[in-house]
Chains A and B, each alone.
Chain A
């Protein structure tokens, strides 16, 4: 069984009027079944309102299922005795770096989580060291978080989660407010954590380029899982993605357009190197035969 398991998950946002009568029910997740293997890097795509952030909040027990079950390392999120263990297992990083930093000094911010968990002081410092090292922010440990760039702040937020030693980290659009450099920084950090520390990563994003390196891509629409596969499988279905209001990376789109025009290219090309590897020999051959 995977580290995160959702079984027939349903979640309704219930709006009540002043007399606590139910006024409106909005089904955000509608019968989701998902099993995520420990150590994998899973990206979740879906347009605004598709239910992906609601799902993220289910994973660390910020929201509790209306129906169905969410199991984190086998623990039911509905079981109040386990809620802290659930949150310790699955740490969360949000979109806005400014909303999740509380310390006046970077090292203090990173130590906040383990301190709250009652970790002994010596162990806290050890974890702060390790976490800052893991996100490449050791040089900034005595700086004020206010003076950092957006990408650096997000890396501090990730270090703060790491210091709680979670098995799994959920990132809800962690790069939406960052510039291209900051975006690269954060994604590279997350990929490293997954590869080196074998932390399970659940990345929610709107940027298709960030998904290319994932082990698995899940597409959500109307609270349901509508596509599930490797990035290559998913991005070879360009038309379907567009129907779900999503996009493909420019490289994939160019390859798709050229394929449509009859060029012999593989389906679901993801990187520039793949495209060039197929396109360059073909073009050279064509140009040579034109010359003859």
Chain B
């Protein structure tokens, strides 16, 4: 089970004066159950890339395989793909529209020709997974807090029972606690349900904490594809691409420059604290 991109290329406005490579020969393979962080500055091609993964955009050239099947092959079941690869857009709460939370989450599965019983049980399960209990079912989605709305929107995608969940900046505009709550829920879905997660974020601190593997996009090309630890070693190159490493990386680098022998690849506050305390025998 995997997603495999082979020389994936997407050109916007091909043949016009505005011709622009949004993706250029991108290759990667994502295995089942991975937690991938996708980073890149605005215009780097990451949003274009995720829209290819569930077939919303078709590559200009190159191939995309889902579980070994070429999704561009004639007669491929695109609708099936879209229910297996769930995409949560930026500001997903703008897409809520039903009168109450429960109906909103039911909307997706309703379009899958399921029985009413199955639809409702999926909606309940999905809401449970994002931590919203029955007291929310009859509430209007528009009266919830920003973080709660976003969880309803994610539940709407989960109710489709996807194997892969792609989230485009799910924490934008949320307060720190709201950010932790959403990311905590996503982490839990990854751990307990074995969902493959592809998370797009500008927060390097969050990436350091949650992702197993980082894919870095720049000008439509894949620049790095490695563990966060190894990617953040290239902090100078990341800066040249308009990105950054977590603050901790900079502190660790500065300590090393001063001749303090801490490990080079520390990326979280906890790791840095433990390394410093170890150094002085505490």
Contacts and interface: CB of A to CB of B under 8 A. Distances in A.
Instruction: State yes or no: do A and B come from one complex.
Output: yes
A49 B279 contact: no
Interface stretch (A70-78, A104-112, A174-182): A174-182
Interface residues of A, number: 41
A206 B175 contact: yes
A290 to B, nearest CB: 7
A182 B175 CA distance: 19
A206 to B, nearest CB: 5
Given A47-B177, A48-B146, A290 B281 contact: yes
A48 B41 contact: no
A122 to B, nearest CB: 36
A180 B246 CA distance: 11
Nearest to B249: A250
Contact of B276 (A177, A206, A249, A258): A258
Interface string B136-177: 000000000111000000000000000000000000111111
Given A254-B273, A276-B251, 16 more contacts: A48-B146, A177-B172, A179-B202, A180-B204, A206-B173, A209-B247, A245-B175, A250-B205, A250-B248, A258-B273, A272-B247, A276-B255, A276-B258, A279-B276, A283-B255, A284-B259
A272 B202 contact: no
A56 B172 CA distance: 20
A283 B42 contact: no
A284 B260 contact: yes
Given A180-B242, A283-B276, A173 B173 contact: yes
9 contacts: A149-B42, A182-B41, A206-B173, A206-B175, A245-B175, A283-B280, A284-B260, A286-B280, A290-B280
Contacts of B178: 47-48, 245
B202 A246 contact: no
A48 B42 contact: no
Interface in B206-262: 242-244, 246-248, 250-251, 254-255, 258-261
Given A47-B178, A180-B41, A272-B250, A257 B255 contact: no
Interface of A: 46-49, 95, 149-150, 173, 176-182, 206, 208-209, 245-247, 249-251, 253-254, 257-258, 261-263, 272, 275-276, 279-280, 283-284, 286-287, 290
B269 interface: yes
Contact of A272 (B175, B254, B282): B254
A150 B42 contact: yes
B43 interface: yes
Given A48-B147, A179-B242, A280 B176 contact: no
Contacts of A206: 173-176
B242 to A, nearest CB: 4
Nearest to B250: A272
Contacts of B272: 254
B277 interface: yes
A257 B269 contact: yes
A109 B88 CA distance: 33
Given A181-B41, A254-B269, A176 B145 contact: no
B30 to A, nearest CB: 23
Given A179-B41, A180-B41, A287-B279, A280 B255 contact: yes
B269 A253 contact: yes
Contact of B176 (A177, A182, A247): A247
Given A48-B175, A179-B202, A180-B243, A283 B269 contact: no
A157 to B, nearest CB: 16
A270 to B, nearest CB: 12
Nearest to A181: B242
A290 B244 CA distance: 35
A231 to B, nearest CB: 16
Contacts of B259: 284
A283 B257 CA distance: 13
A261 B277 contact: yes
A258 B276 CA distance: 8
A136 to B, nearest CB: 16
B172 A180 contact: no
